[in-house]
Amino acid sequence: MTDISPLPHVLNIKPYVPGGKLAGARGPVIMLASNENPFGPNPLAIEAMREAAASVHVYPDPAYGALREAIGAAAGITAIDRIAVSSGSDEIIHLLTQCYAGPGDEVLQTEHAFSMYAVSATAHGATPVFVPETDLTAGANAILGGVSARTKILFLANPNNPTGTMMSVDALKELQDALPPHVLFVIDGAYAEYVGPAYEAAIRDMVDRRPNTIMMRTFSKIHGLAAARLGWAYLPRRIADTFQSIRGPFNVNALAAAAGAASISDPAFTTMSREHNTLWRAKMIEALNAMGLPTPESAANFVIPDFGSAERAAAAHAFLKDRDILVRAIGGYKLPTRLRISIGSAKDNEAVLGALKAFSAQR
Ligand SMILES: Cc1ncc(COP(=O)(O)O)c(C=O)c1O
């Protein structure tokens, strides 16, 4: 027994459920549960990590100058001091929440939003507030309807995980213009590269339209560096200064920093990954719909077929698991009748489609 107990709100956290691994698999496992890049990391990033490995006895550059310069050059950002880097973008979610929301405050998100926003809000004693969605999107008006005097942060993933839906840039701007200035607007662009460079530039420019807007990005998805844990953000100057004051001096490890700089400096790899994704996403959506599994359009690197009932979705999940294929159950996101399937290699996509065809034929 011990008298040591966490703060009361920490006990309220509903932990994040990761995509996980497949225990006891017979052969190679097809991993389509965590929206990873099927091509793996950029070979230039692997080389950069190899080189950096020889120097890991020395602390990294606490300013992460080379990485921030590389991000700035790739993203068209000249104010390098307004770029922050982090151990995964999860760390940005946590640090922003820690800085700006606490007991009595509200953190706003959409009904099917990425679950770390709520985990982080709860962990810091704030109340997560969910805006209802229609047809898997909320829209500016519904989001504004959720804003109160206590709202401190609005987290909006665009495209959103796990729905794959997105708001147009015009709708984002409408929302931005109407948001009261006491609300920090965090546009989470974890999947922005799958939309394309024009969209990436548009959300970057939104940061400069208002002093309350942040763009958050990750190296875990299109850059194929999920295990390296690297994220970044472009922030208004005052918020950037606050962020720098709270982050650990060495919050990004040197291997991740080297890999990220190499990867973001090579747009060819990103373009190739996006084109593969666009092609296969369309094929997957068409094939799943043809199987009688209604699958909406997606702007990201995953699709969410509807199995009609939670039981049927669970049966499909288990059926795939038995064939060493791991996809994501999304009941925790209030989408119990659907599964989220990441776009993988051509071979893996064909395997999951083949297995689902066999599953559908079982009825
Ligand atoms: C919308 C969204 N934001 C943020 C993250 C966190 O990514 P990471 O911490 O790996 O950068 C994810 C991961 O799945 C995500 O889907």
- Summarize pLDDT for 61-97 with one digit per residue, the tens: 999 999 999 999 999 999 999 999 999 999 999 999 9
* 55 touches 265 (CB < 8 A): no
pLDDT of residue 218: 98
- Asked if residue 3 is part of any domain, the answer here is no
Domain count, the chain: 2
In a domain, 1, yes or no: no
Q: Which of 240, 185, 187 is nearest to 218 (CA)?
A: 187
Q: Is 358 exposed, middle or buried (0-12, 13-18, 19+ CB in 10 A)?
A: exposed
305 pocket-lining for ligand 1 (C-beta < 6 Å): no
| Confidence (pLDDT) at 12 | 86
Q: Does ligand 1 have an atom closer than 6 angstroms to the CB of 306?
A: no
Q: Which domain holds residue 222?
A: 43-266
Pocket test for ligand 1, best of 31, 34, 71, 90 (most atoms within 8 A of CB): 90
Percent with pLDDT over 90 in the chain: 91
CA 143 centroid distance within chain? 19
Same domain, 79 and 51: yes
Residue with tokens 């005097």: 149
Q: How far is the CA of 361 from the centre of ligand 1 (A)?
A: 35
218 Cβ closer than 6 Å to some ligand 1 atom? yes
In this structure, the residue with its CA closest to atom 7 of ligand 1 is 89
> What is the structure's pLDDT at 10?
85
Length of the chain: 363
Q: Do 184 and 312 fall into the same domain?
A: no
Task: Report the b/e string of 219-228 with b at 16+ CB within 10 A.
Answer: bbbbbbbbeb
The CA distance from 139 to 137, in Å, is: 6
| 286 shares its domain with 261 | no
* 190 CA from centroid of ligand 1 (Å): 6
User: Is the distance from the beta carbon of residue 164 to the nearest atom of ligand 1 less than 6 Å?
Assistant: no
Question: Is residue 200 included in any domain, yes or no?
Answer: yes
Of 75, 71, 98, give the one whose Cα is nearest residue 84.
71
From CA 141, how far away is CA 153, in angstroms rounded?
A: 17
Contacts with 11 (C-beta within 8 Å, 6 or more apart), sequence order: 5
Predicted pLDDT at 177: 97
Q: Which of 237, 266, 295 is the last residue of a domain?
A: 266
Q: From the CB of 115, is ligand 1 less than 6 Å away?
A: no
Q: Is the pLDDT of residue 240 over 70?
A: yes
